Every structure is written in structure tokens, then in C-alpha cells.
Structure 1
Amino acid sequence: MRAAKEAQLTAGAALLRRVLDELARATHDHPGVTRAAYGAGEQLAHDLVRREAEALGAVTRTDAAGNLYLTRPGSDPALPALFFGSHLDSVPHGGNFDGAAGVVAGLAVLAEMAARNLVVLRDVTVMVTRAEEAVWFPVSYPGARAALGRLPADELEARRADTGRTLAEHMADAGFDPEAIRTGTPQLRPADIAAFVEVHIEQGPRLVSMDRPYGIVTAINGGFRHLAGHCIGAYAHSGAEPRFSRRDSVLGFADFAQGLEAVWDRLEAEGRQATITFGRVESDPRQHGGSRVLGDIGFTLDIRSDRESTLEDIAASMRALCLQIAARRNVRFEFDAPLTWAPAPMDTGLVEKLAAAAGPGNDVPLLASGAGHDTAAFAEAGVPSAMVFVRSENGSHNPDEAMEATDLDAVVAMLVRFVTVFDGP
């Protein structure tokens, strides 16, 4: 793998290595790390980066939801601030870099600014959000949306997967104020944010395959998900039921999966980006057997794209497929109500400024994010938003995450240049 070009950092390189190493040691949970949302590991990580920021002279505060803000004041603090941010919680036994790499990159930018005595017009703030990983609470971006006053009150009753206690209870236990969040009181006004930029490891193999240290995200995919899809036929004896009368759910589901793959082929040929995933396929063990025609196949289905029109195309194709297969196989399809989320396009002006900050001769790849991130919450609130992906072997959400520190050095060097020209041409 080709290393990133040597970054000209005076303080950030040492800081990011030291902080990432300390995070890994302090939250180790074999075979990876565990930093539960509103738990001890996440709090330890917040305390660590607060300590580092205060040592750099940053002003720190925590809001009612527990989000942390680390600010280097600008010469005109009345201006909307430039925000960098990400999260510090992890999935259970996950990798050390998902979320944390972005927080530490922002912290390294503050370190570089302090070392160079660099003061810009507006405040530069690193925001450390809470509870980004939905594995803990079945809620999207609760920390970021709570900060923006956009977390519905009923979502405070979501229960943490391991404790069974509510989000509100965990906030209160940690010393925060869920009642302020319940009333929708903004902890952060979109008008006070000039831009929000999140650095995150890429969770797929594209940058690795391109041999590039980082890329710039153009959009965060939207999508829809069915947690309970079924192809329903009729149970029958495998030897006695002739082919003409069979209502075989296995063959009906196979036609459906193959049909959706053909839709995916068509979209790719048209230059449109999407993912189609059957996460779980199962039959009832009390009903299936070696001598039965299966009458019911259950499955989950996850569809994602960076364009709403593509999602609508796939949904329409699904409906047509179900009708065609029902007529051919004498089966029927049933789906639960879909979980839906809208694509979040990144701000084109920010994308261009980040690409320019990479410097002449650096052809930075542009790519969509298949997974959701806190940045989506800011984009949906009308804040100019952007993301930078850092190359990471072995994806994310696993203990084998592998990000090269030199790649993050290159990102930090680019962000320092971005800070200095943010208000310029």
C-alpha cells in the first residue's frame, strides 16, 4: 500500500498517535474496544480529549445531552464557527478508529494551530457527539440531533440494548439534562455554524483499492429497510406435491433476489449508485424439514442510494417483481412498514474547498458514503456540511480496523490549509 505523502505537521502528528494509542489501551475489550454510548468507555474517551484540548488552551463545554465542544477562539468570535466533529462511542468489541479518528483529527488541527500561533477570523470548534452507534440505542444520531433541538421527545424512551434502560435515564445517570432535550431546546443553533466537517475512516474498500489516503464525500446515502419481509406459499410434501401445484416460497424468494440483482445491474450500467442487501434469510425451524416444500421464507432487506430518484426506482421495481413472481409461482409477498431515511447531499462549495486544500496535483477521489453519520443530522438541519474519508483496511465495526497514522497526518495537513483559506477565495 502506497503511503501518504509526508505531511508537514509540527504538533498534530505526535498528538494523534498518542491519543489514539491511549484510547485503545483504556477501552480495550478483547478482541477490540468497547465504548458504550452513555457508558464508562465513552465517558473516559470524552474526558481524555477534553484534557488534551484544555492543555492546548481550548475553551471546553458540555451541553445538556453530553456533547462536548472544544473551541480555539478566533479574532471575531461573533462570526459563526467552523466545526469539525465526530463521535467516540464504538460498537461492542469494535475497532479503535471508527469515530475516534475524526475527533482526534480535529484535535490535531487545534494542536497545529496552537503550535503555529495561528489565529483565524472565526472560532474553530471540535464537536464530540454522543451515541452515534445505533447498536446501543435504536435511534439515529441522538447526540447530534439533540444538540440541534431536533430529537423527538419519544426517542428519549428508546432503550439501550444491553441495559434495557432508556436514553433519558442514561443521560440523567451521566449527569446531563434529558428534560432540556425533551422540550426541544437547541444546545447549538445552526445559524452559529459556518460549516460542519467530519473526518471518518472509510467503511468499505474503495480508497484501499484506489491506493489513495483519503477521499471527499459527496453525499451520505439515504435508504429504506424492511425488517420483516416474507415470501409466503404453502407447505407440502416434497415427494407428493407435483410441480404444477407447488407454491414454493424458496423458489419465489430466489426469483425475487435474482430480480433485484438484475435491477442493481441496470442501475450500475446507468451510472447510478446503490446497494441492495438481504441481511437475514430464514425459515421457521419448527416447520422446515428435509421432506417439505417450504411455505414461508422470512428476510430482511436494506436498500441504499445517494439519490432519492434511485430509491424510488428500486421500490417501484420491487413492486413489479412481486406481482410477476406471485403470478408465476403462486406465492405472495408481505412487508412490514419500511424504515426510511433521506439522502444527505454534501455542500458543493465545501467539497470544492476541501479538494482545493489538498493542494495542486492531488486528485482527491470523490465518493458517496454508504453508511450514516452525524454529518447527516447537520445537513438535514440546513448546516453546510462535508465529510472526508480516510483509507482503512478491513472496513469498520470490527477489531481489525487498520488505518495508517500517516494517512490521518495527510488529512490533518489538508484541514489546516482548509482552515486558513475557509473565508478566502
Structure 2
Amino acid sequence: MIEPDMALAARLFEQLHALSFDGTGITRDTYGAGEQRAHALMADTAQRLGLEIRRDAALNLYLTLPGRHRDKPVVMTGSHLDSVPRGGNYDGAAGVVAGLAVLAGWIRDGAQPDRDVTVMGVRAEESAWFPVSYIGSTSAFGLLSPQALSSRRADTGRTLSEHIGELGGQPEAMARGEAALRPEAIDCFVELHIEQGPVLEGEGHALGVVTGICGSHRYRQAQVKGRYAHSGATPRTHRQDAVVALAALIERLQREWRDLEAAGHELTLTFGQVNTDARQADFSKVPGQVSFCVDMRSRSVDTLRLLDSLLLKTAGELEASHGVRFEWGPVSGSQPAVMDEALQQALRDAALASGVQPRLLPSGAGHDAATFSNRGIPTAMLFVRNANGSHNPDEAMDMDDFASGVRSLGRVLALRAGLAGPHNRSPI
């Protein structure tokens, strides 16, 4: 097989770290300076490799090695380049680095694919910044809701439209639903990504082949409202304690989660933020208000609906028993996605050919691959094990594991793209 350029990959990770380190972890803010620097680095690298460079209205980046038959549907790979605040260096970026390492190896050896191969640097995958899922990939297909452009970034308070326009994008075109990608013009999309949980590390597998991607149902701005009262002068029977009501909701939903799992459902439930109002709450007050968020995930839409109904039913019962009121605010979320079986098998075969026994597993986290799959495009994901999970500064992907993943990705891209070597050598 044609070896990917792993020296290039190592340099890119080092440069990304230098451009993104915030003193604690990695911050590549969505439609901000951090993400912009990462995109510039990948574009500069592509230019030196001689790849074609294109950007769309949402500033997604397309780095293309032309094929012999440019009218054929393109083979695509890639991932996102933004990060959560104080995250790790590999989440998302590993997929773009992997694609460039594969193409650099082909270029070095003078091999040309039968059809175009494109590495996509996707914008705005991390919804920590804007309360919208898959901004970059949905925009690429002209699917972003015009209302999403009015959503505000968590730290700046400025709109998505303002951030995109400031960087040279075209929010007006996005609002009109102008598409840069057409499903019928894409042969497949294969995304390499670090695993963001403990499964591969715990079981001793270097690589995982993803079977499906969970969808989500989220309440980002929920509140429970009771009544503030004196902590010493108010008996238990006269309290409308928002903290106690929320604690009861969380405890009961944990029990519902266990029961659903016992019944065969696959899901996760997270109350990721819980805050009293610092301006009103006090050690000598019964808390009258708590803000919180809820994140429900599953590969089954029916499971998400069931869990949501249990959440709302339980909250209604607690309103009656605790004298409080739950307010849920806007709902956001994403659709589950199923990975293509033929591509799953191709990734398994490629991993085995690289000397690695992969594990099949679902992805609890969301990925841009879901957008491609839900457009009817054959889609697959390859996970590389990563110690310490993700969305934290302690991501610890081993470069040998990554090299195995990149080789496996390269084999599948070569197979789908009909790669031809300079002396009729087998590319895989």
C-alpha cells in the first residue's frame, strides 16, 4: 500500500497545538480566531501539496486531489476543526489531518485516483458555541434553518450571521439555502475521529468501526421556579424549594434511565449545567430558581421520545408536590444516523490488513458524518482510541494508533477512488 505521510501529520498536530493552546487546554472557537487559524493552516498545507482549495458560503474548506475522471462522484473524508472551550487537540482535527496525510502520500508516490478525492474541513461542529447542531455540514447542503443565523454565541452574545460575515462568509446565501454539495455528486463520506469515550481504551482495541450515530434531544435553557424564602423561618411544609425539586427530578430520571436500559433501550441522559442565580441565591435563603440543561441521546428516535415524555411527566408530578414550575425553553437536537454496511466492512477489512482487530461500536457523540448519512450518502466512521475521553485537555491519542487508523482510512479511500500507482502497483 502507499504509506501516508505521518511526518506531515505529526507536524500539523504540533502546529495546531501551538496555534490553539489557551494556557489550560485547546480552544478553537467556532467562527472565531481559533477555528480560523486552524483552517488557514490546513489551507496553507494543501496549497504546498498542490491540492485545489475551495470554500463555500459557510466557509467550509474543501481540499481536493483531482481524479482522472472529474465528472464522477467525489470520494470525501474530513472532519471539523473547531473545539469546545479548553478541550483537546485531536477532537475533530484528527480527521482532517488524516485525510491530508493520505493525499500527501499519494502525491509523493505519483499516484492518481480515478475520481476526485476531497478532504473537508467542516465549520462549527461543536454546539458549545452556538445552540445549533452541525452548522457547517448542514449549511453545505443548504439545510441550515435561516433562524439559526440569529442564534447567539455563548461567550460573545453576537449572532452566527455576524460572526460568519466578519470572517468573509456569506450568511445571506446560507439563509437562501444555497448548497455547495449535492448528494448525487458524492460517492461516499468516511470520517476518522478519536473515540470520545472509554470503550476502545478499556477493551484494548486501537480502532473502532462505528455502526451508527446517536441523535439528541436537548433543553439548553430550562428553569425550575419556586419561591425565595428565609432559610430559618420557613418550615419544610411551607417551602417551594427549586433545588430540591430539581434534585428529585434528576434522581427519578436516573432511575428511569436504569429501567429503560434494563428493557433494552440504548441511551444517555445528562444534566450538564445546574446553577442558582448568584444575584439572588444566598446561604440563608430557600432557593427560588435554578437554571439547568438536559441532554438526551440515542440511536432510536422512539427512545428519545419516550425519555422526553418521562421527563415531562415526572416534572409535572413534581410541580404538584413541590409547588414549583418547570420552564423548558427552546428545544434543539439532531437526528440519529446509520452507517453504511459496505463501508463498515471495508473499514474492518482495512484495519485487519493494517494488523489491527477493530471493534464495532455506536457513537454516543454527534458527528458531521450524520449529516451526510441522512442525505442518503454512503457514510462510515473510524474511531481511534483515545485515553481520558474528549472535551477536556487530557486527550491522549497514541500516534501509533493514529497511524493504523490513517492507513486503514487510506485503504478505503483508495478502494473507493480507484487509485492507480505509477507502475500499476496495487494501492491497497
TM-score range, shorter chain: 0.7 to 0.9
Amino acid at match of 2:119: V
Question: 2:170 aligns to what?
Answer: 177
Q: Does the CA-based 8 Å contact 1:249-1:297 persist in structure 2? A: yes
Q: Does the CA-based 8 Å contact 1:221-1:371 persist in structure 2? A: yes
- Establish whether residue 280 from structure 1 lines up as the match of residue 273 from structure 2: yes
Cα distance in structure 2, aligned partners of 1:143 and 1:55: 25
Shift of 1:401: 1.9
Shift of 1:411: 0.6
Give the 3 Å change call, closer, same or farther, for CA 24–352 of structure 1 in structure 2: same
Shift of 1:354: 1.6
Question: 2:75 aligns to what?
Answer: 82
Give the 3 Å change call, closer, same or farther, for CA 399–253 of structure 1 in structure 2: closer
- Establish whether residue 401 from structure 1 lines up as the match of residue 395 from structure 2: yes
Question: 1:157 aligns to what?
Answer: 150
Shift of 1:82: 0.9
Q: Does the CA-based 8 Å contact 1:247-1:329 persist in structure 2? A: yes
Give the 3 Å change call, closer, same or farther, for CA 191–162 of structure 1 in structure 2: same
Shift of 1:286: 6.2
Question: 1:377 aligns to what?
Answer: 371
Shift of 1:414: 0.6
Query: SS where residue 358 of structure 1 aligns?
Result: helix
Structure 1 stretch 204-213 or stretch 275-284: which is displaced more?
275-284
Amino acid at match of 2:129: W
Question: 1:5 aligns to what?
Answer: none
Structure 1 stretch 221-230 or stretch 405-414: which is displaced more?
221-230
Question: Any residues of structure 2 matched to 1:61-210 within 5 Å, and which?
Answer: 61-210=54-203
Cα distance in structure 2, aligned partners of 1:297 and 1:176: 38
Q: 1:225 aligns with which of 218, 230, 240?
A: 218
Q: Does the CA-based 8 Å contact 2:337-2:374 persist in structure 1? A: yes
Unaligned runs of 5+ in 2: 419-428
- Establish whether residue 391 from structure 1 lines up as the match of residue 382 from structure 2: no
Summarize deviations over 1:8-31 as a string: whole Å, max 9, x none. 773421111111112222333323
Unaligned runs of 5+ in 1: 1-7
Cα distance in structure 1, aligned partners of 2:321 and 2:158: 48
Question: Any residues of structure 2 matched to 1:234-273 within 5 Å, and which?
Answer: 248-273=241-266
> Number of matched residues?
417
Q: Does the CA-based 8 Å contact 1:82-1:124 persist in structure 2? A: yes
Q: Does the CA-based 8 Å contact 1:112-1:416 persist in structure 2? A: no
- Establish whether residue 319 from structure 1 lines up as the match of residue 312 from structure 2: yes
Give the 3 Å change call, closer, same or farther, for CA 329–54 of structure 1 in structure 2: closer
Question: 1:356 aligns to what?
Answer: 349
Structure 1 stretch 232-241 or stretch 343-352: which is displaced more?
232-241
Give the 3 Å change call, closer, same or farther, for CA 29–333 of structure 1 in structure 2: closer
Q: Does the CA-based 8 Å contact 1:10-1:115 persist in structure 2? A: no
Query: SS where residue 304 of structure 1 aligns?
Result: strand
Shift of 1:307: 0.9
- Establish whether residue 368 from structure 1 lines up as the match of residue 362 from structure 2: yes
Query: SS where residue 422 of structure 1 aligns?
Result: helix
Query: SS where residue 143 of structure 2 aligns?
Result: coil
Cα distance in structure 1, aligned partners of 2:26 and 2:280: 40
Question: 1:4 aligns to what?
Answer: none
Question: 1:416 aligns to what?
Answer: 410
Question: What is the root-mean-square deviation in Å for CA atoms of aligned residues?
Answer: 2.9
Question: 1:339 aligns to what?
Answer: 332
Cα distance in structure 1, aligned partners of 2:139 and 2:69: 27
Cα distance in structure 1, aligned partners of 2:16 and 2:237: 62
Q: Does the CA-based 8 Å contact 1:199-1:389 persist in structure 2? A: yes
Cα distance in structure 2, aligned partners of 1:175 and 1:230: 37
Q: 2:46 aligns with which of 53, 56, 73?
A: 53
Cα distance in structure 2, aligned partners of 1:228 and 1:176: 29
Cα distance in structure 1, aligned partners of 2:305 and 2:381: 25
Q: Does the CA-based 8 Å contact 2:20-2:26 persist in structure 1? A: yes
Query: SS where residue 33 of structure 1 aligns?
Result: coil
Structure 1 stretch 78-87 or stretch 141-150: which is displaced more?
141-150
Structure 1 stretch 389-398 or stretch 174-183: which is displaced more?
174-183
Shift of 1:291: 6.0
Summarize deviations over 1:142-189 as a string: whole Å, max 9, x none. 222222111233333334444444433433333333333232221121
Query: SS where residue 36 of structure 2 aligns?
Result: helix
Summarize deviations over 1:21-62 as a string: whole Å, max 9, x none. 122223333233333333343333223222323333322222
Cα distance in structure 2, aligned partners of 1:275 and 1:202: 16
Cα distance in structure 2, aligned partners of 1:61 and 1:392: 31
Give the 3 Å change call, closer, same or farther, for CA 283–82 of structure 1 in structure 2: same
Shift of 1:222: 1.4
Cα distance in structure 1, aligned partners of 2:263 and 2:250: 20
Structure 1 stretch 141-150 or stretch 111-120: which is displaced more?
111-120
Amino acid at match of 2:134: Y
> Between the two proteins, what is the percent identity of the paired residues?
47
Q: Does the CA-based 8 Å contact 1:80-1:123 persist in structure 2? A: yes
Cα distance in structure 1, aligned partners of 2:330 and 2:47: 47
